[in-house]
Amino acid sequence: MANLWRLWKILFVFTRYRLDSLVPVQQLPVWLRVMLWLAPWRFFPVPSRLTRGERLRLALEALGPIFIKFGQILSTRPDLVPEDIVKELKRLQDDVPPFPNDKARALIEEQLGKTVAELFAEFSAEPMASASIAQVHAARLFGEHGQPGKEVVVKVVRPGIEHTIERDLRLLETMARLLVKYSAEGRRLKPMEVVEDYRATIHGELNLQIEASNCTQLRRNFEGSDLLYLPEVYWEYTRSRVMVSERIYGIPVADLEQLHAQNTHMKTLAERGVEIFFTQVFRDSFFHADMHPGNIFVSRENPQKPQYIAIDCGIVGSLTEEDQTYLAMNMLAFFNQDYHQVAQLHVDSGWVPATTKVHELASAIRAVLEPIFEKPLAEISFGQVLIQLFSTARRFNMEVQPQLVLLQKTLLNIEGLGRQLYPELDLWSTAKPYLERWMRERFGPKAAFREFKRQLPSWLDKGPQIPNLIHGALTRLNHMDDTQHALQQEIIALRKEMSEQRKQKRNQLQGGIAVITGLFVWWQSFALGLPESLGLAVTAIGILSLILR
C-alpha cells in the first residue's frame, strides 16, 4: 500500500511540473509517443512562470533525498545535460530548504546529552548549508586559558529522514523485482544488487559516525599532501546523528569568478582533481564517492599549486585488488587503442560471459572508439564514451558490476568538474602516466620484493611444519589407490541396491495392476453377463503374482 501511495505521489509530481515536456519524444518508439500524447496530464498547462530547469529541480526536491541525489549527479554533467538545467540543478548541492532551528537544537542536545549553550560558546541559528540528508550550522567551541575556541561546523541529520529513505528504497526494490521478473535486459543490469548497494551507501550517510570515520581515514591517507585536505573531526562531539568538525575557509570549486580573481592556475587545478581520484582508487583503494561541487572547495593558499578541500565523506568506495588490476589494465589498453586486449580482459574478469567471442567483442568496441580517437582529445567526453560502450556491451550480455557503480559515478563527477574548471582538460593524457606508474609499482621488481618481505615472516613461521606437511601429502598419495578402489566398490554396491529396489517397486506395481484389473473384470461380469469365475480367477492370479513378487 505504501509503495502504491509513493507511486501515486511520483505521478502527481510528474504531472504538476509537466516533466513530460523534458522527454525527447522524437527519440521514443512510436507506441510510446502515442501513449504520451494520450496521457491525461497533457490537459494540464505547462507552468509558464517556471523554466524547465526550475520545474525539474522543484520536482526532485518534492520527491525527496534519493531524487535530490540524482539531480546532484546531473548537475555535474554539462556535456550531457543542457546548460540552463545544469545551472538550476546546482542549487540542489547545498541549497535544499532547511528544517527549523529548534528541531536541530533539540536533536543536538538529545545526541550529546547537554544543552547547546553548554556545548558551544557560539552557535548560529541559521544553517550555513542545507542538503538532502543533513544541514550544517556554524559554531565555536569553548577556548582554554582565555584563548578563543576553535571554529567548527555542526552537521545534523534531518529528523525523520530515515522513514522517507526507507520508503523510497522499498519502492526501488519493488521496481527492481519487476525488472528481474519480466525483463531479460533488467536481469543483466542486476537491479537488486545495485539497490542493495545503494541501501548500504545511503544508510552509511545517515550514520554520521561512519562519515566521521571515513573523513578520518581520508585525512590520514593524504596527511602532509598538498593535493587534498580533509577537516579534522572532533570525536567527543560526534554521534550517529550529529558530527562536529573543523571549519574550513576555501573557495567553492564551482565559483569560477573567485578562482580567477585570485589567479588560480586552472589547468593545474583540473589535473590535480584527476590525480586525486586515481590516487584514492589505485593507491589507497578508498575513494570519496560523492565529489559533486557542493562538497569540494579550493584552498586560498598558493593559487599556482592549488589544494583541494573535501567535505561530506558519507559515501566512500573501495575495490578489491583483482578489480583494481583489471580496471587499470582495461584503461591502459583503452588508451593504447588495443581493443582485443580490452575485450579479452572483459572475458577474463567475468564482466561478460565466458562464451563471448573475443574477436567479435573487440570489433564492436573498435567501431565505437575509432571515430572518437579521430577527434581532438579536448573534444572527447569520457562520460559519452562510457555511455556508448555500455550500449554496445548490452549486445554481449555484459552485466552491471555493482562494485563498480560508485566508481563510474565518481569518475563522471570528476570529469564533469574538471571540464567546468578547464574545458580543455585532457583526462586521458593526465590519467595514463599515473596508471602506467601504478602498474610498474604493482607488478615491477620492487613490488615483487615488497611482497616477498611481507610474506617472509609467515613463511619462516611455517617453515618447521613443511617437512611434516610434505610427508603427510606423500602418505595420502600412497593410499589414494586404495581409497579410490574402496570408493568404487561402494558405488557398485550402491548401484546394485538401487537397481534391486527399482525392480521390486516395478514388480509390486505390476502385481497391483493385475489385482485391480481382476476386480474390475469381476465387477463388470455382473453388468455384461460374463462368468463370475472369470473375474475371480484374474483377481486370484494377480494376488498370487503380487505375493510371489
Domain borders along the chain are 2-92, 101-316, 321-448, 487-548
Is the Cβ–Cβ distance between 289 and 409 less than 8 Å?
yes
Catalytic hit among 79, 197, 255, 290 = 290
Tell me how long the chain is: 549
Tell me the one-letter amino acid at 328.
A
- Average pLDDT, integer, range 33-43: 65
pLDDT of residue 245 exceeding 70: yes
**pLDDT band at residue 86 using 50, 70 and 90 as cut-offs:** confident
Residue with cell 573531526: 233
pLDDT tens for each residue of 246-271 = 999 999 988 899 999 999 999 899 88
Does residue 290 have an active-site annotation? Answer: yes
**pLDDT band at residue 548 using 50, 70 and 90 as cut-offs:** low
Return the bridge partners of 287, or none.
317
pLDDT tens for each residue of 100-152 = 888 999 999 999 999 999 999 999 989 988 877 888 999 999 988 778 889 99
pLDDT of residue 172 exceeding 70: yes
Express the helix, strand and coil content of the chain in percent, nearest 5 each: 65, 5, 25
Is the Cβ–Cβ distance between 176 and 193 less than 8 Å?
no
Q: What is the DSSP letter of 227?
A: S
Is the Cβ–Cβ distance between 123 and 139 less than 8 Å?
yes
